[in-house]
Structure 1
C-alpha cells in the first residue's frame, strides 16, 4: 500500500518522514529477499541496504516480519477512516479503506505484493505475525469507529465488530495467497468477504 502527501492531509511532517523511512527499509528488504532466503537476512544487512542504522530498522520494525506485512502506518489508515463520509455504514467504511489501499498497492507495487503473498504461504512466521498485526490494527481502527458512531472508546460491540471484519479480511488474503494469488482476484475476493459478513455468519449447505 502506498501513500502520497495529498492522500494523507491529516498527517504531520514527522509522520510523513516516518512513512518515507519505513518505505526505504521495506524496499531494501524486498531487494534482499529476491536474492536470498528471508530467514537468513539480518538486521544489519537490512540497515546497510536501506542506508539507515540497525537501531532505526528495529525501531520502525521491532519484529522483522513486519517489514513484509505492513505498508501504510496505522496512523494513515486511521486518517482515511476518519475521512470517510459522515453516516456511512461502518462495514462500508472499513471495506473502502482496505480495498482502496490494496488497489493502490496492486497498481503501484504489484511485484512486492505478489512476493509477499508467496512468503505468506511459505513462511509460518509471516502468517503468525499477520494475525498479530491484524489484531493490533483492529484495536486502533475500533477507536476511530467509536468516535464516528458516538460510542465509548472501549465499547465492546465496536471492538468485536472491528476485530471480526479485520480477521475476515485477513483470512481472505491468506486464502487468496494459497490459491495462486492472481492480482486481479484479490479486491473482488475482499468484497465478497464483506458481502458474506453483511448477511451474518450463517452458512448454508449448497444444493
Structure 2
C-alpha cells in the first residue's frame, strides 16, 4: 500500500471508529453525519467522500475482498462448501486480530439492532455472494450451484455472527463459524 492509500485507509478507519462509537452511545438515528465529522475532526464532505451514505459508516469494510482473495487462493477441485467455508473462517481470524474484535462486535450489534442497517446488510450479503462466485473461477461450472453454496455458507456464517453478538463476543468467532459450518455441511472446514 502506498503512502496515499495508507493515509486514506487511516482516515476511513478513524471516521468509522468515531461513527460506531457515536452510534453506540447516542443511537444510530440520533447521530448525524455532521456529528461524526465533528468528532473525527474532519468536514462532513470528507466523511461523504469516504462513506457515501450514513449506513456505509457501519457497513463498509474489506470483508468481501478478503473472502474473495482467500477463495481464489484456495486449491481448486475441493468441494465448494469447503473452499468457501475455509475462506470465511480464515477471514474471521484476520478480522478479529489486532484488537479489532471489539470494533467488529460493535458494528455487528449495530447491524442487528438497526432496521436500516439490516436492510443494507442484505445488499452487502448479495455482493459478497457474487464476489465468492467470481473468485471460484472455473470451479463455478454451474453458477446456480455456486450461488446456492455461497448463500448457504453465508447464512451459516450469519447465524454464527448473531450468536457471537448475543454472547457479547465471548466465543472465539472463527471457531464458532467453523463449528456452525461443520454442523451444517458435515465439516467443510479443516479442524482449528
| Fold shared by both chains (TM-score > 0.5) | yes
The residue correspondences of 1:62-141 to structure 2 (distance < 5 A) are 62-72=52-62, 74-107=64-97, 108-141=99-132
Partner residue of 2:44 out of 54, 64, 70? 54
Where in structure 2 are there 5+ consecutive unaligned residues?
Answer: 187-192
Matched, 1:156 2:147: no
Query: Closer, same or farther in 2 for the Cα pair 1:181/1:128, shift >3 Å?
Result: farther
Matched, 1:192 2:190: no
| TM-score, normalised via structure 2 length | 0.76
What is the CA-CA distance between 1:149 and the residue it aligns to?
A: 0.8
Mapped contact 1:23–1:71 kept (Cα < 8 A) = no
Matched, 1:41 2:28: no
Mapped contact 2:15–2:47 kept (Cα < 8 A) = yes
Mapped contact 1:106–1:183 kept (Cα < 8 A) = no
| TM-score, normalised via structure 1 length | 0.71
Aligned length: 186
RMSD of aligned alpha carbons:
3.1
Structure 2 CA distance for aligned equivalents of residues 21 and 142 of structure 1: 31
Structure 2 CA distance for aligned equivalents of residues 94 and 17 of structure 1: 32
User: Counterpart of 2:190?
Assistant: none
| CA offset digits 1:99-155 (Å, max 9, x no partner) | 22222333321221232343344323333332231122111211111x141637xx2
Mapped contact 1:81–1:94 kept (Cα < 8 A) = yes
Query: Closer, same or farther in 2 for the Cα pair 1:191/1:77, shift >3 Å?
Result: closer
Where in structure 1 are there 5+ consecutive unaligned residues?
Answer: 6-11, 200-207
What is the CA-CA distance between 1:16 and the residue it aligns to?
A: 6.2
2:26 aligned counterpart, secondary structure: coil
